[in-house]
């Protein structure tokens, strides 16, 4: 040891030790990291009448983020990595409330009844109900002002070890859009550390009423361009036949030998020419072999260039494949541009017009027997 150091006074020696040794010890210890903020809540905007619209952001440990707004209980963003670890938003979404109010195609909750009801009429417990005619001669997606156009009450749920969640609630009054019963609806969005986005729906009523809830999410796993080269596999060997107005005839047919056969992986746009040209793409309900209780894997979509993969599981008996047939030249989040057929939708649901088709799974919800449904989107890359 240096003799000069040995000869130092105790106080001076202590000061020297603190100046030279303690910083080195501190540098050798790992820095304390702040815990990840899994849930964030802030203002998104205000409706014309001043009603506040909130934005909720969920994060997981793998860097995935998902954002939701209380208008329409819309999923506005889902940012996931490709095979090289590059993140992008895989939903058509906007960061401006005004665009959603002007009809931007958002991933909103659809209700009280998703899809079509023939001639806007149904009879329940001996009473005929008349609904809005807003799709040709039929009723579509719950009416002219449906759940997608309402401000829901949003609340962030306490974060758990491997997940974060936000819950939205909407109260639909008896007679709203012609439907019977006071209906309380919730959708809980949960983002897990396994890169799963889980959608749990519940609904309770004080009077028998049809309920068919879905999310009209428009996915593009590349984050821009079109969705025609996305490859799709469906665990569905049957579909519901429809008339010219896309109302089911009541007959269920095999997909074998038709352009609706996705039981082996195939590009979404490869067989458009074989479809009814009036549709300009897919707008078909597939019959699923689910049990209504445990989510079952029913679809896998692969974007071959970037390697992103999305799997869909559900408890629902049906799924509407829609390829954005009416959308053109969409500009999304961050200026991302999308051409014709910019996205695809996997709308898990009860069958269209099931309220008028006694052979279809019943969509009727009664007091004391809540509606419950779960759909899961899981993201990965290869």
Show which residues are catalytic: 216, 347
Are the C-beta atoms of 76 and 311 separated by less than 8 Å?
Answer: no
> Which distant-in-sequence residues (6+ apart) come within 8 Å of 63 by Cβ?
81, 87
DSSP letter string over 296-341?
EEEEEEE-TTT-EEEEEEESSSEEEEE--TT--SEE-GGG-EE-SS
What b/e string do you get for 166-205 counting C-beta neighbours within 10 Å, with b at 16 or more? bbbbbebeeebbbbbbebebbbbbbbbeebbbbbbbbbbb
196: Cα within 13 Å, side-chain hemisphere: 17
Which of left, alpha, beta for 120 (phi over 0: left; psi -120 to 50: alpha)?
Answer: left
Which residue reads 């963003």 in tokens? 77
SS3 152: coil
Q: In this structure, what are the phi and psi dihedrals at residue 16, rounded to the nearest 5 degrees?
A: -65, -40
Name, in order, each residue with C-beta under 8 angstroms of 200's C-beta and a sequence gap of 6 or more.
Answer: 187, 188, 190, 372, 373, 374
8 A C-beta contact, residue 276 and residue 253 = no
Terminal Cα-to-Cα distance of the chain (whole angstroms): 59
Q: Could you please report the per-residue DSSP string of 29-95? A: SPPPPPPP--EEEEEEEE-TT--EEEEEEEE-TTS-EEEEETBTTEEEEEEEE-TTS-EEE-B---S
Tell me the DSSP string of 181-237: S-EEEEEEEEEETTSEEEEEEEEEESS-EE-B-EE---B-TTSSB-STT-EEEES-S
Indicate the Cα dihedral angle 352, 353, 359, 365, nearest 10°.
100
């Amino acid at each position: 040891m240096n003799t000069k150091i040995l000869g130092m006074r105790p106080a001076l020696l202590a000061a020297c030790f603190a100046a030279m040794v303690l910083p080195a010890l501190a540098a050798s210890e790992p820095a304390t990291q702040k815990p990840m903020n899994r849930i964030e809540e802030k203002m998104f905007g205000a409706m014309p009448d001043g009603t506040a619209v909130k934005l909720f952001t969920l994060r997981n440990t793998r860097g995935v983020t998902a954002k939701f707004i209380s208008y329409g209980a819309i999923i506005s963003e889902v940012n996931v990595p490709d095979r090289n670890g590059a993140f992008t938003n895989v939903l058509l979404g906007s960061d401006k409330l005004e665009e959603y109010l002007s009809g931007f195609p958002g991933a909103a909750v659809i209700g009280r009844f998703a899809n079509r009801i023939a001639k806007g009429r149904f009879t329940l417990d001996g009473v005929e109900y008349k609904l809005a005619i807003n799709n040709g001669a039929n009723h579509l997606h719950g009416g002219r002002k449906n759940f997608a156009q309402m401000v829901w009450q949003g609340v962030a749920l306490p974060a758990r070890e491997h997940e974060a969640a936000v819950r939205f609630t909407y109260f639909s009054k008896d007679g709203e859009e012609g439907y019977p019963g006071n209906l309380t609806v919730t959708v809980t969005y949960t983002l897990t550390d396994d890169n799963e986005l889980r959608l749990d729906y519940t609904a309770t009523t004080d009077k028998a009423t049809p309920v068919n809830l879905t999310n009209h999410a428009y996915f593009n796993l590349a984050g821009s361009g079109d969705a025609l080269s996305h490859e799709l596999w469906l665990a569905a060997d049957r579909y519901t036949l429809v008339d010219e107005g896309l109302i089911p005839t009541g007959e269920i047919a095999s997909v074998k030998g038709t352009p609706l056969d996705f039981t082996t992986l195939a590009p979404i746009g490869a067989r458009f020419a074989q479809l009814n040209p009036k549709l300009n793409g897919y707008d078909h309900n597939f019959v699923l072999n689910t049990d209504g209780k445990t989510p079952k894997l029913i679809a896998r979509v692969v974007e071959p260039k970037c390697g992103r993969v999305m799997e869909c599981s559900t408890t629902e008996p049906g799924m509407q494949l829609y390829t954005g047939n009416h959308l053109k030249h969409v500009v999304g989040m961050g200026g991302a541009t999308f051409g014709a057929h910019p996205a695809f939708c996997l709308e898990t649901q009860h069958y269209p017009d099931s309220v008028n088709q006694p052979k279809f799974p019943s969509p009727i919800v009664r007091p004391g027997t809540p509606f419950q449904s779960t759909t899961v989107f899981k993201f990965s890359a290869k």
